[in-house]
Structure 1
Amino acid sequence: MSDILKGAVLPAPTEPLDALASPLLAPESTAARPMWLKALEAVAALLGASITLLLFTGVLSRYILSSPIVWLDEVVSLQFLWLAMIGSVIAVYRNEHLRLGVFVDMLPEKLREYVHGFALMAMAAVLIALIPPALEYVQEEWHITTPAMEIRNSFRVSALLFGIVGMLAMVLGFAGRTVRMQPLILGAVLVAIVAATCWGLSPQLAKLGTVNVLIFMVGFVALSLLSGVPIAFCFAAGTISYLAFSSQVPLMVVIGRMDEGISSLVLISVPIFVLLGCVLDATGMGKAIVDFLASLLGHVKAGMSYVLLGSLFIVSGISGSKVSDMATVAPALFPEMKRRGQKQGDMVALLATGAAMADTVPPSIVLIVLGAVAGVSIAGLFNAGFVVAMVLLTTLMVLARWKARHEDMRGAKRAPMNLVGKLLLVAGPALVLPFLIRSLVGEGIATATEVSTVAVLYAMVVGHLMYGGLNARKIYHMLVDTAALSGTVLLVLGAASAMAWAITQSGVVQQLSHALTTLPGGVFAFMAVTILVFVVLGCLLEGLPAVLLLAPIMFPIAKTLGIHDVHYAMVVVCAMNVGLMMPPVGIGFYIACKIGGAKPDEVIGAIWSYLVALIVGVIVIAAVPWISTVAL
């Protein structure tokens, strides 16, 4: 295979890909980790393993033995909320919560420390404000018992209180160890002044009506976001401030909405598909797919670009994670692409936009979350995602072929058919997996949650037997990593759910709905606004939070205009992914640069043509509903 690729495989990046900016919380070394944290990681790993095995047992019992386990959903739901909140605490320790650090990093080092101090104190203030309503919520839920096992619901929702207190302890501990006292005191004073001012002005604020949405939901959230506060805490800060200072609604509603946003059984597939991505990386299943495609197409002009895009398309159908996809594909292909004369900036630009293209290929975590939040059929989203991704893939391939018109093809040889056959045999079990996922969900044999467990266990067994790379220690670390990453995603989901509810109750949605449904141009104008809004918010809010925040608001408007929900979902996700990769703010752009080993300055000039190709594809998808609905 090395004769075909003409380059050694580069090591995958080992440092955290989310720590693109100076860390808000600087984690200690692995050796210095306290025993209580190790115990917490062990509990998270045990919960992740238990959920996976229980769900798989449920699949076997229902479809093979025709005997569903009636108590299974209750036990899994309890474990899932605890997994999410423990993962959130671990993610705070690891500095893995999603945040926008671009603007903070532009500041002088001395000023940056004061901004960090403010951000830490803002996080602490949010968590302190949530403790009393979380405790009240636990007490209220004591009166509710589950139907099958008659477990008091307080045992499940106490995970929220545990997570809030745990994150507060983590934030305060790191604040004391990593930031000087003066910036912390100044940050605390500033937060206290803002809170006291709003409290004193609350009678006047209550009279402003929907203007408060701009003050708190936009102003406070934007200020927190620019200060480097993690996105989940930004949403929570805006919601808490809005309810506390301009309404009579008790803050326990925030905890209730967070619980509702996190606890949907559909979302249990999120950590399991994250685990699937970890298995993919550890076993090298993705690398086998890349090698096969390279032997098949590597000898033609623009062939390595086709291989990169095709690999992202297929591998995305296994991992569900853009970061995992890029880290799998780039090291295997970049050496040969560079030898053929492609510039580093062009390669990373193609990598970034290819990952954006592939995000609609199931098992896309974004599609799963969107389906849960907006009430859209996940099976329908999975079926439509393949076709939509093919449209975007075509636009990128056409541009890649044009750019490769001067490519140096000397030394590029067609791989012998016996080698192609051998690589196909090696890659075969991995190639089966995305089609297995799609067919099980599309045919209604298994739900998105159930199929995720089938996929994980299949990948573990086949990956270990055919590709190696798995052992008990690796599986344990993958389970802990899964808990931390899932905690970050689900905490954002919970905070966004609370914020979306507050915005809806304010009456802004009704005004917005009237404005958007009466736009000149009707459906086409609404689609144009949708694309623009989600591209911009995809830049600022790391994509997924934008979907979580606006989906409950925008989907009812789309339904009023007669737009098919799956069609609208495809437009939303594609536009969001364009924003995610758009410089100078899009976080996905910087992750691609980090994985590809290029400076952002090298890539900015090259990526715009690829982004234009993606936008053309998004416009075509928006204008032709048939593309999204033909596979339904």
Structure 2
Amino acid sequence: MDTRVDPNMLAVERPSAGSISWFENGLRRVVEVLASTILVIEIAVLFIGVVARYALGAPVTWSDELASILFIWLAMLGAAVAFQRNSHMKMTAFSDGRKGSTRQLLDVLGLAVPLAFLVLIVHPAIEYAIDEIIVITPALEISNAWRAAAFPTGVVLMIAFAVCRIVRMHLYKRILATAIAILIVGSALYFVGRPWLMQLGNWNLLIFLVGMIAVGVFLGIPIAFVFALSALSYVTLSTSTPTVVLAGRMDEGMSHLILLAVPLFVYLGLLIEANGMARAMVGFLASLLGHVRGGLSYVLIGAMYLVSGISGSKTADMAAFAPALFPEMQKRGAKPGDLVALLAASGAQTETIPPSIVVITIGSVTGVSIAALFTGGLVPGLALGIALCGVVWWRYRKEDLSKVTRSTRREILSSFVIAFPALALPFVIRSAVVEGVATATEVSTIGIVYSLIVGIAIYRHLDLRRLGAMLAETATLSGAILFIIGAATAVAWSLTQSGFSRDLASMMRSLPGGAPVFMIVSIIAFIILGSVLEGIPALVLFAPLVFPIAKSLGIHEVQYAMVVILAMGIGLFAPPVGVGYYAACTVGRVNPNEGLTAIWGYMLALIVGLAVVAAVPWLSIGFL
């Protein structure tokens, strides 16, 4: 995510734009307050639900429904704030090196393309919300339009912020010319090219969902809007599907209740950083491994292994520990690009670790025993972690430790006593899930309450005045992440409607070479799928198709599940398309360009580890 002030911006704000700036900043503050309030209510509702069910034995039947309604509002309001802050994830490797008129054109495209999508989707979004008026929610017994209205509201807010930026930066002529050009090209395609495009069938997938996405990402246009506009173009120009359906799919992709863990764990990560817990944890871990070359990188891999799967989201997993470890690692000389590359790779490494929501999902849609999947997921994740540690060892083998002193046993013990309440947090969270105290979505609220109590009562480092800013920052980061997931869901739905999933299954069934070739093709296919789809929707779509084929070829279902999950994880975090990589950059607050060189070594290690898991069934089924 690139949020820096750009000296090459095509225009600077002029004094005459002061009133527009005042309006824009005022509107942003209102939206931030609303989003922050919703986040506080979400935490309270979910925590009360846990207490009522587990401690009082009186479940609150409407808590999940209310949380779901509030969640989509949080996602869209956060996405609007992220748009105003220019915080939506994008790849700027190409645009950063351009100057003059080329850079100006890229800057205009970076605003004009998102605006074009927002204008095109606003009417379908409103239509979708109107259609939901007649739907009554089962628990609260209110119209579902209260939930569906969040999507058009967020779109309208983003349009308003875009107009403010256009006026403030005096871009009327350039934006108008670009918008007219886009309108002319789009209209020509619709009226002239649409009949021809509709005859191409699935070749349109290459045009819109591969070519258009690749070009947009390369030009530095925000990833979410590239995905969304590509899916909208595909549906409009090559199918007869109403665009209101696409609005519904984006809404559905962002509002999955499992994803509620994203903002909650993002907030938890900010909280443990602000209340002194992160400092205590890092102090203890540094006393143990500070004298080892690349020591804190090993700590990051181990921490991700411990907390992974708890939240149901890799992004939430990363957000739980990255803010705590990154500052100290940078003080020790680690480059931000290498840190975010390792963070992304460790996110791909650990999705098989129980109690992973992805593992639960794949078990539920394929009929494979979830208990067996939980047992089988530990060693494959460990195998990939060892592969990552090998890369860390190689990269840091010549690290200068001359200024680093080894801690004494007394210092280690003292730092452990200080850090114990903080170190207990991952175990409190995991125990709450395993013991059935809370669901994977609710458990983050236990972590938040625990962290507030520990920060105030023990570490006494929490500045209560910072909580509001942390809430707003959480909403912004979460909005950017969830909006890109919604856009990726639209792409996934487009692939399904095209019949691509059925064609894929038929092709894989007819492959020569038996189980080894099928496994290799599966790895390649799911890496590609993982690069454009969020894990859970993709597995729901494709797992029921390919698992029977694997079973008929003699591949154990648990092993195949591990291979599929890890392959999708690698694809999800592999740039330039994998959205997980940009999520890692957002969580780590690092420009995506900085991690591009460093990540490929880690990706190669993951692929080697995955090949070992695929070749050695015992790693997945040895403890069943």
- TM category (shorter chain) comes to 0.7 to 0.9
Q: Does the 8 Å contact 2:45/2:67 carry over to 1?
A: yes
Moved more, 238-247 or 462-471: 462-471
Name the structure 2 match of 1:469.
461
Which of 31, 44, 48 lines up with 1:53 in the alignment? 44
Alignment of 1:68-147 (within 5 A): 68-147=59-138
Q: Does the 8 Å contact 1:119/1:187 carry over to 2?
A: no
Please report how far the alpha carbon of residue 627 of structure 1 lies from its aligned counterpart in structure 2 after TM superposition.
3.9
Using a 3 Å threshold, how does the CA distance of structure 1 residues 305 and 79 change in structure 2: closer, same or farther? Answer: closer
Could you give the per-residue CA deviations for residues 483-532 of structure 1, whole angstroms, max 9, x where no partner exists? Answer: 11111222122222222112211122211222233334455445434544
Name the structure 2 match of 1:356.
345
Please report how far the alpha carbon of residue 349 of structure 1 lies from its aligned counterpart in structure 2 after TM superposition.
3.7
Aligned-partner residue type, residue 461 of structure 1: I
Q: Secondary structure at the match of 2:39?
A: helix
Name the structure 2 match of 1:332.
328
The answer to whether 1:454 aligns with 2:446 is yes
Name the structure 1 match of 2:574.
579
Name the structure 2 match of 1:214.
206
Could you give the per-residue CA deviations for residues 559-602 of structure 1, whole angstroms, max 9, x where no partner exists? Answer: 2324447414531354236624999x96589789986x99959x
Name the structure 1 match of 2:554.
none
Please report how far the alpha carbon of residue 177 of structure 1 lies from its aligned counterpart in structure 2 after TM superposition.
2.7
Alignment of 1:512-591 (within 5 A): 512-529=504-521, 531-532=523-524, 547=535, 550-560=538-548, 561-562=550-551, 563-564=557-558, 566-576=561-571, 579-580=574-575
Using a 3 Å threshold, how does the CA distance of structure 1 residues 45 and 141 change in structure 2: closer, same or farther? Answer: same
Moved more, 621-630 or 280-289: 621-630
Q: Secondary structure at the match of 1:150?
A: coil
Please report how far the alpha carbon of residue 448 of structure 1 lies from its aligned counterpart in structure 2 after TM superposition.
0.7
Q: Secondary structure at the match of 2:77?
A: helix
**How many percent identity over aligned positions?**
35
Alignment of 1:269-284 (within 5 A): 269-284=261-276
> 2: CA distance between counterparts of 1:520 and 1:191?
46
Using a 3 Å threshold, how does the CA distance of structure 1 residues 246 and 578 change in structure 2: closer, same or farther? Answer: closer
Name the structure 2 match of 1:189.
180
Report the TM-score, using the length of structure 2 for normalisation: 0.83
Using a 3 Å threshold, how does the CA distance of structure 1 residues 40 and 500 change in structure 2: closer, same or farther? Answer: same
> 2: CA distance between counterparts of 1:242 and 1:140?
23
The answer to whether 1:19 aligns with 2:3 is yes
> 1: CA distance between counterparts of 2:565 and 2:170?
43
Moved more, 43-52 or 108-117: 108-117
> 2: CA distance between counterparts of 1:132 and 1:407?
57
Please report how far the alpha carbon of residue 64 of structure 1 lies from its aligned counterpart in structure 2 after TM superposition.
1.0
Please report how far the alpha carbon of residue 294 of structure 1 lies from its aligned counterpart in structure 2 after TM superposition.
2.4
Which of 423, 427, 440 lines up with 2:432 in the alignment? 440
- CA-atom RMSD, angstroms? 4.1
Aligned-partner residue type, residue 555 of structure 1: A
Using a 3 Å threshold, how does the CA distance of structure 1 residues 568 and 555 change in structure 2: closer, same or farther? Answer: farther
> 1: CA distance between counterparts of 2:576 and 2:198?
39
Could you give the per-residue CA deviations for residues 304-335 of structure 1, whole angstroms, max 9, x where no partner exists? Answer: 65456545655778994547744532442455
Please report how far the alpha carbon of residue 452 of structure 1 lies from its aligned counterpart in structure 2 after TM superposition.
1.4
Alignment of 1:287-302 (within 5 A): 287-299=279-291
> 1: CA distance between counterparts of 2:270 and 2:585?
21
Name the structure 2 match of 1:429.
421
Name the structure 2 match of 1:163.
154
How many residues align? The count is 601
The answer to whether 1:613 aligns with 2:608 is no
Q: Does the 8 Å contact 1:84/1:490 carry over to 2?
A: yes
> 2: CA distance between counterparts of 1:571 and 1:45?
35
Could you give the per-residue CA deviations for residues 367-389 of structure 1, whole angstroms, max 9, x where no partner exists? Answer: 65797799679999887665444
Please report how far the alpha carbon of residue 611 of structure 1 lies from its aligned counterpart in structure 2 after TM superposition.
4.4
Aligned-partner residue type, residue 59 of structure 1: V
Using a 3 Å threshold, how does the CA distance of structure 1 residues 573 and 482 change in structure 2: closer, same or farther? Answer: farther
Using a 3 Å threshold, how does the CA distance of structure 1 residues 135 and 128 change in structure 2: closer, same or farther? Answer: same
> 2: CA distance between counterparts of 1:206 and 1:599?
37
Q: Does the 8 Å contact 1:21/1:101 carry over to 2?
A: no
Q: Does the 8 Å contact 1:221/1:234 carry over to 2?
A: yes
Using a 3 Å threshold, how does the CA distance of structure 1 residues 112 and 210 change in structure 2: closer, same or farther? Answer: same
Moved more, 512-521 or 551-560: 551-560
Moved more, 501-510 or 160-169: 501-510
> 1: CA distance between counterparts of 2:593 and 2:395?
21
Using a 3 Å threshold, how does the CA distance of structure 1 residues 406 and 279 change in structure 2: closer, same or farther? Answer: closer
> 2: CA distance between counterparts of 1:133 and 1:94?
26
Could you give the per-residue CA deviations for residues 116-145 of structure 1, whole angstroms, max 9, x where no partner exists? Answer: 223322212211121222222222111111
Aligned-partner residue type, residue 559 of structure 1: F
Aligned-partner residue type, residue 570 of structure 2: A
Q: Secondary structure at the match of 1:34?
A: helix
Q: Does the 8 Å contact 1:362/1:386 carry over to 2?
A: no
> 2: CA distance between counterparts of 1:425 and 1:204?
71
Aligned-partner residue type, residue 332 of structure 1: E
> 2: CA distance between counterparts of 1:420 and 1:548?
41
Could you give the per-residue CA deviations for residues 247-285 of structure 1, whole angstroms, max 9, x where no partner exists? Answer: 221111012212222222222222111111111221232
Q: Does the 8 Å contact 2:278/2:325 carry over to 1?
A: yes
Aligned-partner residue type, residue 36 of structure 1: L
> 1: CA distance between counterparts of 2:362 and 2:117?
24
Q: Does the 8 Å contact 1:26/1:94 carry over to 2?
A: no
Q: Secondary structure at the match of 2:574?
A: helix
Please report how far the alpha carbon of residue 160 of structure 1 lies from its aligned counterpart in structure 2 after TM superposition.
0.9
Please report how far the alpha carbon of residue 163 of structure 1 lies from its aligned counterpart in structure 2 after TM superposition.
0.8
Which of 444, 464, 489 lines up with 2:481 in the alignment? 489
Please report how far the alpha carbon of residue 149 of structure 1 lies from its aligned counterpart in structure 2 after TM superposition.
2.3
Please report how far the alpha carbon of residue 472 of structure 1 lies from its aligned counterpart in structure 2 after TM superposition.
3.0
Please report how far the alpha carbon of residue 533 of structure 1 lies from its aligned counterpart in structure 2 after TM superposition.
5.6
Moved more, 24-33 or 445-454: 24-33
> 2: CA distance between counterparts of 1:54 and 1:224?
40
Alignment of 1:233-252 (within 5 A): 233-252=225-244
> 2: CA distance between counterparts of 1:245 and 1:320?
36
Q: Does the 8 Å contact 1:593/1:599 carry over to 2?
A: no
Q: Secondary structure at the match of 2:134?
A: coil
> 1: CA distance between counterparts of 2:544 and 2:204?
23
Which of 41, 50, 57 lines up with 2:32 in the alignment? 41
Using a 3 Å threshold, how does the CA distance of structure 1 residues 40 and 381 change in structure 2: closer, same or farther? Answer: farther
Unaligned ranges ≥5, structure 2: 552-556
Using a 3 Å threshold, how does the CA distance of structure 1 residues 231 and 371 change in structure 2: closer, same or farther? Answer: farther
Q: Does the 8 Å contact 2:317/2:347 carry over to 1?
A: no
Using a 3 Å threshold, how does the CA distance of structure 1 residues 379 and 139 change in structure 2: closer, same or farther? Answer: farther
Unaligned ranges ≥5, structure 1: 1-16, 339-343
Which of 57, 66, 69 lines up with 1:66 in the alignment? 57
Aligned-partner residue type, residue 96 of structure 1: S
Please report how far the alpha carbon of residue 621 of structure 1 lies from its aligned counterpart in structure 2 after TM superposition.
3.0
